Amino acid sequence: MGVKKFISKKKGFLLGLLLLILFGSLGLLVTGARGEFQFKDILPFEAQYVWMMKQTRSILETYHVNDQNKKSDEELFYGAMKGMVAAWGDPYSRFVDPDELKQEEIDIEGEYGGLGIYIGSKDGKILVISPIEGTPAHKVGLEPMDEIVKVDDDIVLGWNINDVVKMLRGEPGSKVTIWVRREGHDELLKFEMTRELIKIDSVSQKRLTGDVAYIRISHFTQKTPEEMKSALKVALDTQAKGLVLDLRNNPGGLLDACVAVADYFLDGGEVVSIRGRVDRANEVFNANPGVLFKGPVAVLINEGSASASEIVAGAFKDRDRAVLVGEKSFGKGSVQTLFKLPEGSGLFVTIAKYYTPSGVVIDGVGIEPHVKVEGKYTGKLEDDEQLKEALKEVEAFLVKAKEAKG
* Residues 138 and 128: beta-carbon distance below 8 Å: no
Predicted local confidence at residue 43, as pLDDT: 53
Q: Would you say residue 16 has pLDDT above 50? A: no
Q: Based on the residue annotation, tell me whether 190 is a catalytic residue of this protein.
A: no
Q: Compute the average pLDDT of residues 71-80.
A: 86
Q: Which pLDDT score is estimated for 299?
A: 98
| Mean pLDDT estimate for the chain | 85
Determine whether domain 203-401 maps to CATH 3.40.50.740. no
- Interatomic CA distance for residues 257 and 228, integer angstroms: 10
Average of pLDDT values for 174-202? 92
Question: 296-305: per-residue pLDDT in tens?
Answer: 999 999 999 9
Q: Is the dihedral of CA 235, 139, 148, 337 positive or negative?
A: negative
Measured torsion, CA atoms of residues 307, 312, 315, 321, in degrees rounded to the nearest 10 = -160
Classify domain 111-199 by CATH architecture.
Answer: Roll (2.30)
pLDDT at 28 over 50: no
pLDDT value at residue 12 = 39
40-55 tens-digit pLDDT: 455 556 778 778 888 8
Residue 168 pairs in a beta bridge with none
- Of 406, 383, 396, the closest CA to residue 241 belongs to 396
- Residue 27 sits at φ, ψ, to 5 deg, of 65, 30
Gap between the Cα atoms of 234 and 238, Å rounded: 6
| Strand 283-286 with 270-276, pairing | antiparallel
In this predicted structure, the answer to whether residue 27 has a pLDDT above a threshold of 80 is: no
Classify 54 as helix, strand or coil.
helix
Residue 11 has a pLDDT of 38
Local confidence band at 26 (pLDDT 50, 70, 90 cut-offs): very low
Q: What percent of the chain has pLDDT over 70?
A: 86
Q: How far apart are CA 192 and CA 152, in angstroms?
A: 9
Backbone angle region of 52, left / alpha / beta, with phi > 0 → left and psi within -120 to 50 → alpha: alpha
DSSP letters for 89-113:
--TT-EEE-HHHHHHHHHHHTTEEE
Checking if the pLDDT of 58 tops 60, the result is yes
Give the sign of the dihedral formed by CA 151, CA 154, CA 159, CA 160.
negative
**Residues facing 217 on adjacent strands:** 203
Cα(321)–Cα(315) distance, integer angstroms: 8
Active-site pick, 241, 246, 332, 363: 332
* Domain boundaries of the chain, sorted by first residue: 3-87, 111-199, 203-401
Catalytic residue among 202, 307, 329, 345: 307
Query: Which residue of the set 263, 318, 363, 384 is catalytic?
Result: 318
Provide the 8-state DSSP code for 209: S
Residue 219 confidence (pLDDT) above 70: yes
Of all helices (H) and strands (E), which one includes residue 179?
strand 175-181
Q: How high is the pLDDT of residue 73?
A: 84
> Is 318 a residue of the active site?
yes
Of the candidates 396, 370, 403, 404, which has an alpha carbon nearest to the alpha carbon of residue 209? Answer: 396
Tell whether pTM > 0.85: no
pLDDT at residue number 108: 59
How far, in Å, CA of 240 to CA of 365, rounded?
34
Instruction: Specify the DSSP class assigned to residue 332.
Output: -
The answer to whether 146 is a known catalytic residue is no
Higher pLDDT, 217 or 57: 217
Residue 343 clears pLDDT 90, i.e. is over it: no
